């Protein structure tokens, strides 16, 4: 997600809680300086589904007052998410809690982690409305092809009327490339979304909320599958490019990569298990209240996707301290991980000059004394912070040939799509408990130290 330099971090996060804890599970933070010892609590497991009234009560009672952010953040700009998914699946234990940030990339993390409940937290009310829009579209769309049709208000192509479950996403988007936006279809879809949210679920949305819903949905209609983080243009990948990106082995793992991944996310949405909360990473209530909820239900946080939010907490206000204090209250264990995006040096070469100036490239590695102090606590670290992906990504794209045939092209390297001239964000894992221990020990005072604690 694109950063800001505002004093108060105005970045949304998506918290997805996966629960499957047994009675008596240890849900306290891992032992370390300032972290309370393990304790056992009676588990009241998170239900298989939430009634509409409970779902809506959680969205309001766990929230903080909303704030501002200068960008709509329609879609993600982090194409490196594919690279970390296999390691995330191997590291994080199933049946725990996943915490993430941003728009649709969280659906891919959800598909990989197979969560049971999701708490989507963002400082902007508009982000809440966008996730409610997505919730409705998932519920209304029985398969991937229908979801894409409704999201962009494009008629479903005849070629996709019986699309197989293993159909490649680039073939699906190629079929939609010849379908222009249909305003009448948009109007019908919008009416169906409003009916589902207001009448079927009984959610309370104000006139301002409904106006925001229309504005956001209209952006997806106008820009279509080529919508970017900022809407159109800029140094960002498009929704379509993000949907077809693959990992370094050429495997596509996103939520639209196959029907099974899509159905994992849709099933959660239909059971009201993706709950939105308005809040701030460094705020006084939202994260702590979510932690209390998970603890009361015997659930651990297994993964917390922060995007590059941590980077912007290290502002003159130093709100990073409040954030890590909040994290220390979350139920976790030694396998709980941060999934974080970090800027690469290539960002300095961005074709968007203002973006290149705004994004702060991580400084030189910290001196050995810092790493030695971590080692004495048993905390592993990188002498060179994770500022490049573990391996070049492969972008699977479809290109129509002169004879009309469609050929799939594997594009190696950091760039996403032809002519994308921007530095990307790397995605890495780090132990949550290690970061909390380093914080409690007073070893952290700048961002480069945070990203040095990485697996």
Residue 1 lies in a domain: no
pLDDT bucket at 369, cuts 50 / 70 / 90 = confident
Whether residue 7 is contained in a domain is answered as no
Average pLDDT, the chain: 78
338 has pLDDT over 80: yes
Instruction: Say whether pLDDT at 204 is over 80.
Output: yes
Position 5 in a domain: no
C-alpha to C-alpha distance for 58 and 327, rounded to whole angstroms? 20
Report the C-alpha gap between 220 and 217 in whole angstroms.
Answer: 5
At what angle are helices 105-113 and 259-270 packed, to 10 degrees?
A: 90
Supply the pLDDT for residue 423. Answer: 40
Q: At what angle do helices 259-270 and 125-140 cross, to 10 degrees?
A: 110
Chain centre to alpha carbon of residue 419:
25
**pLDDT recorded at residue 332:** 92
Report the pLDDT value the prediction gives residue 383, as an integer from 0 to 100: 63
**Does some domain include residue 3?**
no
| Residues 205/213, Cβ–Cβ less than 8 Å | yes
Q: Point out the least confidently predicted range of 51-60, 210-219, 293-302.
A: 293-302
Residue 348 has pLDDT above 50, yes or no: no
Assigned domain for 307 exists: yes
Q: What is the DSSP string of 138-149?
A: HHH-SSHHHHHH
Tell me the percentage of the chain whose pLDDT exceeds 90.
40
Confidence band for 78, pLDDT divided at 50, 70 and 90: confident
Q: Identify whether 160 is part of a domain.
A: yes
Of the spans 18-32, 110-124, 394-408, 430-444, which averages the highest pLDDT?
430-444
Across 65-91, average pLDDT: 83
CA torsion sign, 346 to 351 to 352 to 357? positive
**What 8-state DSSP symbol labels residue 195?**
I
Q: Quick check: 321 pLDDT over 90?
A: yes
Q: Is the pLDDT of residue 192 over 80?
A: yes
- Residue 217's pLDDT is what? 98
Residue 56: closest CA among 195, 202, 271? 202
Strand ordering across the sheet containing 337-343: 274-278, 118-122, 13-16, 97-100, 301-307, 337-343, 425-431
Q: Is the pLDDT of residue 349 over 80?
A: no
Of 404 and 114, the one with more pLDDT: 114
Estimate to the nearest angstrom the gap between the alpha carbon of 253 and the chain centroid.
14
Report the alpha-carbon distance of residue 393 to residue 82 in Å, rounded: 8
- Supply 30's token pair: 């891992």
pLDDT-based confidence at 8, cuts 50/70/90? very low
233-292 pLDDT per residue, tens: 777 788 998 898 888 778 899 999 999 999 999 999 999 998 888 989 999 999 999 999
Residues 6+ apart with CB under 8 A from 367: none
Of 344 and 84, more confident: 84
Q: Report the percent of the chain where pLDDT is more than 70.
A: 75
Band of residue 77 on the pLDDT scale cut at 50, 70, 90: confident
Asked if residue 214 belongs to a domain, the reply is yes
Residue, of 39 and 280, whose pLDDT is higher: 280
Q: Tell me 404's DSSP state.
A: S
Tokens of 107: 């659906």
Inter-CA distances, 421 with 236, 346, 356, 393, Å: 8, 10, 11, 15
Q: How many domains is the chain partitioned into structurally? A: 1
Per the CB < 8 A criterion, the answer to whether 297 and 43 are in contact is yes
pLDDT of residue 281: 92
**SS3 for 288-335, per residue?**
HHHHHHHHHCCCCEEEEEEECHHHHHCCCCCCHHHHHHHHHCCCCCCC
Residue 312 has pLDDT above 50, yes or no: yes
Residue 154 pLDDT: 96
Q: How far apart are CA 144 and CA 261, in angstroms?
A: 9
Pure H helices in 141-285: 144-152, 169-176, 183-194, 207-223, 239-244, 259-270
Higher pLDDT, 323 or 237: 323
388 CB neighbour count, 10 Å cutoff: 17
Between residues 176 and 366, which one has the greater pLDDT? 176
Q: How confident is the model at residue 39 (pLDDT cuts 50, 70, 90)?
A: very low
Tell me which residue has tokens 């105005």.
10
Please give the residue range of the domain that contains residue 22: 13-452
């Amino acid at each position: 997600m694109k950063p800001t330099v505002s004093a108060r971090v105005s970045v949304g996060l998506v918290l997805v809680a996966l629960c499957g804890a047994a009675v008596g599970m240890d849900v306290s933070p891992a032992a370390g300086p300032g972290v309370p010892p393990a304790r056992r609590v009676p588990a009241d497991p998170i239900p298989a589904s939430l009634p509409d009234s409970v779902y809506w009560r959680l969205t309001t009672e766990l929230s903080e007052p909303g704030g501002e952010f200068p960008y709509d953040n329609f879609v993600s700009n982090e194409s490196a998410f594919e690279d970390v998914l296999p390691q995330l699946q191997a590291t994080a234990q199933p049946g725990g809690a996943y915490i993430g940030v941003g728009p649709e990339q969280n659906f891919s993390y959800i598909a990989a982690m197979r969560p049971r409940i999701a708490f989507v937290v963002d400082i902007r009310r508009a982000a809440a409305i966008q996730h409610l829009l997505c919730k409705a579209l998932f519920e209304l769309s029985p398969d991937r092809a229908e979801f894409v049709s409704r999201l962009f208000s494009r008629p479903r192509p005849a070629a996709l009327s019986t699309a197989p479950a293993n159909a490649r996403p680039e073939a699906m988007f190629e079929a939609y490339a010849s379908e222009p936006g249909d305003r009448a279809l948009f109007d019908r879809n919008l009416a169906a979304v409003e009916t589902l949210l207001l009448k079927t679920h009984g959610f309370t949305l104000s006139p301002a909320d409904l106006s925001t819903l229309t504005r956001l949905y209209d952006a997806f209609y106008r820009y279509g599958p080529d919508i970017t983080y900022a809407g159109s243009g800029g140094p960002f990948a498009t929704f379509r490019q993000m949907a077809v990106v693959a990992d370094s082995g050429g495997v596509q793992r996103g939520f639209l990569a196959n029907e099974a991944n899509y159905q994992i996310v849709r099933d959660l949405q239909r059971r009201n298990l993706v709950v939105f909360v308005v809040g701030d990473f460094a705020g006084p209530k939202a994260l702590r209240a979510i932690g209390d909820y998970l603890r009361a239900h015997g659930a651990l946080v297994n993964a917390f996707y922060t995007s590059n939010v941590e980077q912007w907490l290290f502002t003159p206000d130093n709100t990073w301290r409040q954030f890590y204090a909040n994290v220390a209250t979350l139920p976790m264990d030694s396998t709980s991980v941060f999934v974080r995006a970090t800027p690469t040096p290539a960002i300095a070469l961005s074709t968007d000059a203002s973006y290149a100036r705004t994004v702060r490239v991580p400084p030189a590695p910290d001196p050995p004394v810092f790493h030695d102090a971590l080692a004495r606590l048993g905390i592993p670290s990188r002498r060179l912070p994770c500022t490049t992906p573990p391996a070049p990504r492969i972008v699977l794209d479809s290109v129509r040939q002169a004879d009309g045939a469609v050929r799939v092209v594997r594009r190696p390297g950091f760039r996403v799509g032809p002519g994308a001239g921007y530095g990307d964000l790397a995605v890495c894992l780090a132990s949550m408990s290690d970061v909390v221990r380093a914080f409690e020990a007073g070893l952290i005072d700048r961002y480069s130290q945070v990203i040095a604690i990485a697996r």
